[in-house]
Amino acid sequence: MAITREDLQSPLKPTWCPGCGDYGIWLSVKQALIQSGYKHEEVCLVYGIGCHGHMCNTLRAYGFEGLHGRPIPVAEGIKLANNRLKVIVVAGDGDTFGEGLNHFIAGIRGNHDITLIVHDNRVYGLTTGQASPTSAKGYKSKSTPQGVIEVPVNPIALAIAAGGSFVARGFAADPKQLTELILRGLEHKGFAVIDVMQNCISFNHVNTVLWFKEHSYHLEDEGHDPSNKIEALKRALDEERLGTGIFYQDSRGAYDAQLAAERVPLVDHDLSSIDISESMEQFT
């Protein structure tokens, strides 16, 4: 039976600050799972460490929460072990573009068939508001009282330049569009990147909901063609007008689909004829 709203209900309630952008992303993920038609046992979510990671408690689904910065390789391992699963990564901007930046690029290059949803609030919210890799140059925080020196990571431009096959941006305060983007990412055969602009009401008083609304627009409203990589990169590099929607998409084929080995999930292999007694002798 396909996932229902009741299936996803958890007895645990969110502990996010009132007004946090996590609520909009949480709603969008649930809506996408319900609309996808997938069964509960067909989906696995992998969470990073951060405010977003608490979703593992408030979303009743199969999942795994690992080390900070490491949800992507965990998700890749799950997908390789059972290629029938729809694997979703829920991570943060620190998780993905700080500690996990190399995993992000490697996942894109390999085009592993997973969907990455990045909570991008431009701060480390869980540890009380230090600057993150996407904080603007000059941004002042408790870790950068005189302002950030480095230029920020541009997630969309980086994903396109690294060879991303599905690169999109959503907005936590626009759950209708974000739900559709997640559904499109789940349908995509390959590594789907969905960077989600969100506010941190407690620690980031610059990039508010109103700020994002004033600085963003829907790509489809301007007739953007997601197959045009050069145009996608141009729009990604425009940091004054932040487009939302699908920047770029191609269909070159996912990693697991190109493996030469027999694509039978490990859980389906017949182990009854394998004798490991000789190997176990050394432990007896």
pLDDT of 267 higher than 90:
no
Handedness of CA 98, 103, 109, 112 (dihedral sign): negative
User: Which pLDDT value is given to residue 265?
Assistant: 80
Helix (H) or strand (E) holding 65: strand 63-65
pLDDT tens digit sequence for 108-142: 999 999 999 999 999 999 989 899 999 999 999 98
- pLDDT-derived band at 69 (thresholds 50, 70, 90) equals confident
| Alpha carbon distance 145, 148 (integer Å) | 8
User: Which pLDDT value is given to residue 248?
Assistant: 98
Tokens 């979510």, located at residue: 45
CA distances from 190 to 84, 185, 241, 283 (A): 13, 9, 28, 42
φ/ψ of residue 44, rounded to 5: -135, 130
User: Which pLDDT value is given to residue 51?
Assistant: 92
User: Which pLDDT value is given to residue 26?
Assistant: 97
| Alpha carbon distance 10, 45 (integer Å) | 15
User: Which pLDDT value is given to residue 44?
Assistant: 97
pLDDT tens digit sequence for 211-265: 999 999 999 999 999 999 999 999 999 989 999 999 999 999 898 888 766 677 8
Environment class of 99 (CB within 10 Å of its CB; exposed 0-12, middle 13-18, buried 19+): middle
Contact 81, 266 (CB under 8 A): yes
User: Which pLDDT value is given to residue 262?
Assistant: 63
pLDDT tens digit sequence for 141-191: 989 999 999 999 999 999 999 999 999 999 999 999 999 999 999 999 999
The lowest-confidence range among 26-35, 88-97, 197-206, 248-257 is: 248-257
User: Which CATH architecture does the domain made up of 5-283 adopt?
Assistant: 3-Layer(aba) Sandwich (3.40)
Tokens 């408030």, located at residue: 58
- pLDDT-derived band at 278 (thresholds 50, 70, 90) equals confident
User: Which pLDDT value is given to residue 261?
Assistant: 63
pLDDT tens digit sequence for 10-55: 999 999 999 999 999 999 999 999 999 999 999 999 999 999 999 9
User: Which pLDDT value is given to residue 260?
Assistant: 66
Q: DSSP code of 216?
A: E
Of 226, 258, 192, 267, the residue nearest 42 (C-alpha): 267
